[in-house]
Amino acid sequence: MSHTPRSRTAVGCTLLAVALTTAVPGCSSDGNPLSATPYDASDQIAFNAPSGEGKKADPDKPLEVTSEGSDGRITDVTAIDATGRYVAGELSADGARWHSTEPLAADAHYTVRVSTEDEDGAPGRRVLTFHTGKPTTKKTLDVTFGPKTGTYGVGQPITAELNKPVKDAAQRAVVERALKVTSKPAAQGAWHWVDDKKLHYRPKEYWPANATIQVRSNLENIKIGDRLWGGKAKSLKITTGDSVIAVTDAAAHSMTVYKDGEEIKQIPVTTGKPGFDTRNGVKVVLGKEYFVRMRSATVGISEGSSDSYDLPVYYATRVTWSGEYVHAAPWSVGSQGSANVSHGCTGMSTDNAQWFFENIREGDLVQVVNSAGQSMEPFGNGFGDWNLAWENWRTGSALVAGKPDASDPADRARLRPQSV
């Protein structure tokens, strides 16, 4: 090899003894070779990516970096493309080889920085740039994030809709690894595959109040499968407001509303009567409608039967797609606080419904306890995501399924929903 780190170090230290103020390559002012200026490791490091003019690397092949010879080793490799995407990789225990563990992007410009050390511990460095080629034929996997930009409650999940199904576990891992969610304040979270074309993301606990959440995709030009490549995706930014959680005790016929952990209001309510019991569990507010015309026929009740109805309803807050609301029910004020007489919705006086309507937002949480009804489904009828315990939620991730959680075991054993 052409570099001479040992002779460079020796000369530097000799000069250092003569003039301590002189900057000397190859040795730091404290004589520590690890803090020395790196030597050029070009002849010590080899790549499998072509770097010549007009040459392009095959994005289908992993990037490999190897140490040539026996008097040096690789200590670190950083590979990043022009958009700021890092490439994950693995370094062998002996420092002889590093290889990428996720696909390279097609038609991308990469910069690779390799750090080395020789047998005396002197640091070296090599920087390589290269381009990847374009795929000859491809299908594009596009991602659409939800909800829309805005401010939501602390229970709002993030959604990712794919334009094509992804069934293979390895391909799901590629997709999921490229979907990035960050929040300030930080919150531990994970993606969950609802089906082959839809993912939901939620934290272990609810989002922090007044947080900023940003979502983006790094999938563009990343190979996912045979002729399937990642497409562009519009990033998403949402914020959360105060933590607002409404807990309805169906047995006590009462709703208690909490804001940032403090009780702010108790409301007499009526919930579903026997045979139409309100669902237990945590529900996320889906939207608000000042006026809704509710017809029993839309939920399978025959017109003309004793349970049929056709009513104008005001201040309606939706919590399921099948038609469960929190709303004004002036016709049942006499039963509110003492009996359950509705067909599944949570009814209250018009004044209380207006207050609730004006103090609740999409993404806030409505939890029902002590009802004889079935439990809220995790998916398909709104956002029941919080009804899965964290360890069960994690099993829906292609990246963390089956892996142990690093948090406290007692915390992992806790199930949702929880009483407030």
**Residues marked as catalytic:** 327, 345
Locus of tokens 């074309």:
197
Cβ-Cβ contacts under 8 Å for 60 (sequence gap 6 or more): 103, 223
Looking at residue 142, what DSSP letter applies?
-
Looking at residue 21, what DSSP letter applies?
T
Cβ-Cβ contacts under 8 Å for 248 (sequence gap 6 or more): 254, 255, 269, 271, 278, 346, 366, 367, 368, 369
296 phi/psi in degrees, rounded to 5: -65, -30
CA distance 191 to 181: 9
Supply 60's token pair: 């289908």
**The CA-based dihedral angle spanning residues 56, 61, 65, 69, taken in that order and rounded to the nearest 10 degrees:** -100
107 phi/psi in degrees, rounded to 5: 50, 50
Cβ-Cβ contacts under 8 Å for 48 (sequence gap 6 or more): 61, 63, 64
- Quick check: helix, strand or coil at residue 13? helix
Any idea how long the chain is?
420
- Quick check: helix, strand or coil at residue 298? helix
- Quick check: helix, strand or coil at residue 237? strand
